[in-house]
Structure 1
Amino acid sequence: MSSPLRVTVWNENVHETNDHPRGIRGYYPDGMHGAIAAGLAEHLPDARIRTAVLSDPEHGLTDDVLADTDVLTWWGHAAHGDVADEVVDRVQRHVLGGMGLLVLHSGHFSKVFKRLLGTTCSLAWRNDGEREVVWTVDPAHPIAEGVPNPFVIERQEMYGEPFDVAPPDELVFVSWFAGGEVFRSGATWRRGKGRVFYFSPGDESYPVYHHPDVRRVLANGVRWAARPELVREPLGVTNPARRWAG
């Protein structure tokens, strides 16, 4: 890649600024976006990484910012409805044009993920701080490179099936929880020219974004989703001239 990878880490940043019963500020003094950005920087030292939050003007996701972004990571939970529809439209357009998108944990219920997948994206959940074992089911996939199989997260919110998403193009990780549930915790889709990766580990109540294997997965996901060589515009209807007789 001839030019630096450009990454925008987006977080609604609501839990960090409100009183939260599980002490999120102790785990994430710089916000979850700060921890995610720091983890990416560990594995992508030449990348240009910026952060943006819901309270920024236009949520920090102007056309100029998105045009200067190869991959956008998205974390949301408490304020999905507060994301402006025009920003959702804008993000969708840039994904269809070739920008990569990583949707993290409770971002499964974000407007943009539901829009891109065309389903409710609902799932089963229980937040008892259970043990999660993350199994790689596609070890040849670039997102799984260098990731132990399995790796363990000692305390995490349980996400379980059924997970109402469009059938993934690729299933990379499946998780098992101490309560017996399983979940498709790492999956990919292609939308237009863009690549989308959903990865579930990362609840605000636990220090999951400091976990070294989670950080490696996110960095691998960014590399996989980046397509900086593309001309960034959505596919459209064309009326080409005939190229041969017959």
Structure 2
Amino acid sequence: MTTKQPIIFCDFDGTITNSDNIIAIMKEFAPPEWDGIKNQVLAQEVSIKEGVGKMFALLPSSKKQDIKNFIMKHAEIREGFAEFVSYAKEKNIPLYVVSGGIDFFVEPILASYISSEDIYCNSSDFSQNQISIVWPHTCDNSCENDCGCCKPTIIRSLCKENDRIIVIGDSITDLEAARLADQVIARDFLADKCKNLGIPFSSFETFFDVMEILKKSEVRA
């Protein structure tokens, strides 16, 4: 029997960072109507792509540097993440960050941890009056959820038949990826959704927890 090769797909906002950076940006810079859009996304009344696009369209492009400075100052990396990255390297486990976040803050925050080649997120355009989001990782023919950054599509493009897919996440953007996973490590909204839908998962608060979960999986394998 061939042992499956683990491959990790890890969310960014609210997973690698302690809080959701898009929500933090909206609270600080957006007019009040952003909150109604967010609620529509969480209730799955509008797609993630539509919702995120609408929220950022509320922000003037002239605020780019102010927004970047704000999020670089306030974003906190979850405890144990640096050690988790080292653990994955030591075990030769491919680690990809798949994020519904935006390049202008995801990539700088992760620069000292993860190669940009291993980060999949949305892009941004500040050339017009309002911020526009660009979608380089849209859904393939097997997904009709209008994800924006389609995590299932990225998983399908990177995984081989013998890979054991591990998904780590916290939010609605991780749900479809969790449905594809062999192992789900979840917190917050994603944990609640998995519980409600009967998707097996392990809970975590820090990346030290994640490492312990993965080590136990190694023993079972």
Fold shared by both chains (TM-score > 0.5): no
Normalized per residue, which structure has more helix?
2
Higher relative contact order (CA 8 A, sep 6+): 2
Q: For the pair shown, which has the larger CA radius of gyration, 1 or 2?
A: 1
- Normalising by structure 2, we get a TM-score of 0.40
What TM-score, normalized to structure 1?
Answer: 0.37
